[in-house]
């Protein structure tokens, strides 16, 4: 089985790569690539994202054909895709970080700044926080509710359809921290920085 981690120059993804390789233990081929043919032919795709919504969308668009290839992979061919952090946020129709920016439009909704209640909550939301698992998501197999995951973000995905939400975390409000819609999965937290539980999320995705 081939898992492609999309490398589109969106910041440092070495910890994502290392975590997937650690879990794969040479049983699964982990390919770090921006090659459209390699992405197309892979069994699963991981879309990481670091930095702002706009910078990540721009970086995707800078590689000719990449957005179309991802659309084909996830929407037309319905193959499993995991978005991490801004990778998840880009699933939305639109984001409002820096300037209004169009997303991939896979999950109807928008990406807004976390309401910090007039400074009561620090932004970015950074560090360990509990997740509240709302539905029996494939990526949460054998993961206990209220497990701690690691977060670094100031913006949140607000989906129109709450049925896609598989987990939330409590920080000023119930923030969406995981989604599952058919073959599309996303985590706002960083599984690659979330110790054993995070590695379990990665393992679950690889084993889907």
Which residue numbers are catalytic?
85, 190, 192
CA nearest to 66, candidates 8, 114, 134, 14: 8
Place of tokens 């978005």: 83
Q: 3-state class of 137 per DSSP?
A: coil
Sign of the alpha-carbon torsion through 191, 70, 18, 20: positive
For 75-105, letters b (16+ CB in 10 Å) and e give beeebbbbbbbbbbbbbbbebebeeebebbe
């Amino acid at each position: 089985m081939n898992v492609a981690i999309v490398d589109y120059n969106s910041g440092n993804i070495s910890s994502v790569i290392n975590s997937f390789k650690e879990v794969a233990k040479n049983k699964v081929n982990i390919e770090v690539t921006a090659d459209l043919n390699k992405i197309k032919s892979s069994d699963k795709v991981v879309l990481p994202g670091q930095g702002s919504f706009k910078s990540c969308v721009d970086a995707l668009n800078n590689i000719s054909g990449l957005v179309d290839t991802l659309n084909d992979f996830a929407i037309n061919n319905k193959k499993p895709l995991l978005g991490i952090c801004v990778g998840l946020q880009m699933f939305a129709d639109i984001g409002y970080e820096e300037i209004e920016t169009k997303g991939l439009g896979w999950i109807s909704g928008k990406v807004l700044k976390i309401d910090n209640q007039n400074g009561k909550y620090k932004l970015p939301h950074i560090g360990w926080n509990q997740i509240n698992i709302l539905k029996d998501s494939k990526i949460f197999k054998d993961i206990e509710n209220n497990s701690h995951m690691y977060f670094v973000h100031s913006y949140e995905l607000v989906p129109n359809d709450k049925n896609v939400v598989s987990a939330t975390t409590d920080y000023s409000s119930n923030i969406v921290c995981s989604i599952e819609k058919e073959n599309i999965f996303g985590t706002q937290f960083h599984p690659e920085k979330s110790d054993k539980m995070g590695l379990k999320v990665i393992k679950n995705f690889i084993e889907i």
